[in-house]
Structure 1
Amino acid sequence: MKLKNALGVVIGSLIASASLQALAQGQGAVEVEGFAKKEMFDSARDFKNNGNLFGGSIGYFLTDDVELRLGYDEVHNAVGEDGRNIKGSNTALDALYHFNAPGDTLRPYVSAGFSDQSIGQTGRSGRNGSTFANVGGGAKLYFTENFYARAGVEAQYNIDQGDTEWAPSVGIGMNFGGGSKPAAPVPAPAEVCADSDNDGVCDNVDKCPDTPANVTVDADGCPAAAEAVRVELDVKFDFDKSKVKEESYGDIKNLADFMTQYPSTTTTVEGHTDSVGTDAYNQKLSERRANAVKDVLVNQYGVGGERIESVGYGESRPVADNATDAGRAVNRRVEAEVEAQAK
């Protein structure tokens, strides 16, 4: 299996698809990384010492969790039994499955794929080529939404020779773009007066037969009296998470429907955290939570972004006791409210 010929084409395609936005990792994101490996050669190779490998990779997130990664590295410091230096290169194509959610600080992963290796000895003609099946695992630690450090280990089975080698590795990388839009259930719209025969008059009520169509009505089918109406939103988050949970989409949709019904309204989405962690980290986490709810309102439910302001308050505005698990769970939240004059 020869992967090197496709290296330039695939890297070019992935770079062209990157979006240079400061968003959380997720579907559509591109990650580039520089890394170092320690190749633990199988004893059948008769090498005096193991090799140091240095290279780079580029990956594209097909989903929030699945990344396709293309890597290239070169072999250094390996020495044969005759004292001659071993030189060569590896080209690998792997798929990675990440755990936790985009935007989380720690994202463990498992990987599987194939690699092609070509090595030779200094002063000798000819090279040895081998194809490997790779499996591995590790974790990425995100210092920010766009920069991370990685540590992992791979088992490499030599398909051509039938032996297995190991390669622990570390790397530093950066992330561009990403962000997904999960689906959510659609609740029933608010009841309005129906005009099935298109005569301009509400036809599904008895007490107010002259009510115009498309007007919000009360239980009797009459136009609702003008009064102040409001919707409040309180979205809870798991510890150290900024991903909106599926059970919160219905409440966010209710607020979006209200803002659609009253198009002159605006709102401020406020993010909060519990007291675990530093002030600086919690400030960033609260901002990510507020932006996550705003993203659902704008991209999932079509509310204009200019009508929504997002702000994070970190741990500075608790509503419950941070000394207890229950209190901290209440404080990990995003709040918003909208008020309008109903007619």
Structure 2
Amino acid sequence: MKLKSTLGLAIGSLLAASSFGVFAQGQGAVEGEVFAKRYFTDSYRKMDNGNLYGGSVGYFLTDDVSLNLSYGEYKRLNHDSFEAHKSRKANGSLSSLDAVYHFGEPGVGLRPFISAGMGHQSLNQVDRGGRDRTTFANIGAGAKYYFTENLFAKASVEGVHGFDNHQSEWMAGVGVGVNFGGKPAAAPYVEPVEVVEEVVYEEVITEEVRVELDVKFDFDKADVKQDSYSDIENLAEFMKQFPQTATTVEGYTDSTGNPAYNQKLSERRADAVRNVLVNQYGVAADRINAVGYGESNPVADNATSEGRAINRRVEASVEAQIEEVIVVE
């Protein structure tokens, strides 16, 4: 294979692969590389140090280990001939298969590596114009810097030892390449969070509410006094809040006077309070019943003026039930 063909294929691979930005590093990835190396020969071989140009392709068996196949051709590798100390222009090729272990995690950044493998070197115009073929073992180290998930630059140093000529030589080189086709980077592990559903128990409580009215009257009067209006209004608002309620307004007198008269007076007092609830505060008339009980059911002693003042009254009460939902933990 000619050098131009080798470089052409390698460069073409780089350009084609660089368009696949969706590819990532890791197991299953393929790397293509073009390189230039300086080859330092053993003095025993009477050859000048030369340059090696070529390319390689590698396949990642795991996220860290790849298997690389490379091929390169020598340039300016002159050989001192045994014939009258003439210098011959030596050329040839170098191919190798290496296992490479990468340190660090796949991704953008620096990844040092070490390598080891086997290779084959073929040189012509060596040893009286003949061809020199050598199988060798090689070991190396270096680093790659990934500018993106796909594009990297490389620097390396390699030592080689020939099994046929028993010579040890070395190379130093640089290269650029692309990495594509690997698996996407694994998402970071997130500890699963156990969701405990909180059970909420609700309890409905029925509560009874009550409003009472106690309106006092002057002696022998059925007129509602001004200071009683606020109490009557409170009862009216309660009944509006609970429209299902109804009430009975009960009128009373003290024991002074004729019982028949007192009965009529107690009825007028009950009607007076009912009229205030209906006409002034807007409670429906059919929700209020007015009843007079005369001088019966005293709540104080009619023998005293203070007791009689307490007995001259109108009473009413309204009860309602409300439901409250509470959370039981």
The TM-score, its normalising length taken from structure 1, stands at 0.48
Bigger Rg, structure 1 or 2? 2
TM-score by length of structure 2 reads: 0.49
Indicate the structure with greater strand content: 2
